[in-house]
Amino acid sequence: MDKIFPIFANETNRKTMYNSKIIGLGYYVPDNIVTNADLIKVMDTTDEWIQERTGIQERRWVIEGSGDTSATMGAKAARIAIEKAGLTTKDIDFLIFATLSPDYYFPGCGVMVQDLLEMNTIGALDIRNQCSGFVYGISVADQFIKTGMYKNILVIGAEYHSGGLELNDRGRNVSVIFGDGAGAAVLSRTEEKGKGILSTHLHSEGAHAKELIVEGPNITHWVDDIMKENNPDDVSYYPFMNGQFVFKHAVVRFSEAIIEGLQANGLQSTDIDMLIPHQANLRISQFVQHKFRLTDDKVHNNIQKFGNTTAASIPIALTEALEEGKIKEGDLVVLAAFGSGFTWGSVIIRW
């Protein structure tokens, strides 16, 4: 057997395993700032009510006719990340695009970015894991790079929420939360040990899928059915969130994902130099920060000015933290997300 399959007989013949590291980051948000005062004009709410429950003061929303979509915003963020990485679009071997608000039902935004950036005919993968989309994307990219399949992978998280929100009293609990924007990261191969992505950890619990959902249109309740019914009370095509239920699960799963990642690498919470949580709700981030006894300088939040940008929130916040000098070489950086699905996960990085 050794003569027929020599590759299995010699340990040194096995393919080299690499590490992956983030070498470029970028983000883009629309210029249009929508404050809590602006929302008061179209729904029965107050600045105090919004800030007390979410921590949000303002968010960015696309202006109709501006040309901004999930794909075009993702492409803008990607150009910045690729430039920061010192690469060109032709150097990218694979593309991963995470969003819950694609330009079309199909095809996905990945192929649109491939075209917008005039890339080679590389593979483009679309991920639909909502708030956890970027963490899932990083995990997939990490595995492709570790096995040597690709060298440079672009991971994008982008959302165009504002076009699908119910801007009235009925939809206010959800509509005040979400913002538009995009973030991107370039992951590249490295043979440096103990640096880059140390581990990723992914989970899901579909039993609670309908606690945070856009239910229609779907294959059994398609657009023509909704139009024929002409039912003003049909809110299936607007986001629904059982806020208290989601909050209770989020604080548990955030913590579990972080602990799992730390334990997998023989680390403790005191080793964390920077935590970048998905910007779902400032109260959730503060709860997790308190649980792990992290000081303010070890957690980066920007939901106050951008709202919840779902798959884009972590790459936007990570880019900001790096640009503000909050992340230095050798720092332990933790990314953690929880969202619809339910899905959640963490990424442990030695910068």
> Which residue numbers are catalytic?
131, 278, 308
* HSE of 234, CA atoms in CB hemisphere, 13 A: 14
Neighbours of 45 (CB within 10 A): 16
Q: What's at 42, amino acid-wise?
A: V
Distance CA 346, CA 278 (A): 10
Measuring CA to CA, which residue among 167, 89, 102 is closest to residue 129?
A: 102
Report how far residue 177's alpha carbon sits from residue 208's, in angstroms, rounded to the nearest whole number.
Answer: 20
The closest of 298, 283, 65, 103 to 177, measured between CA atoms, is: 283
Neighbours of 83 (CB within 10 A): 14
Give CA–CA dist 175/161, Å, rounded: 9
Token representation of residue 272: 């964390």
Evaluate whether 315 touches 184 at the Cβ level (below 8 Å): yes
β pairing state of 152-159 and 94-98: parallel
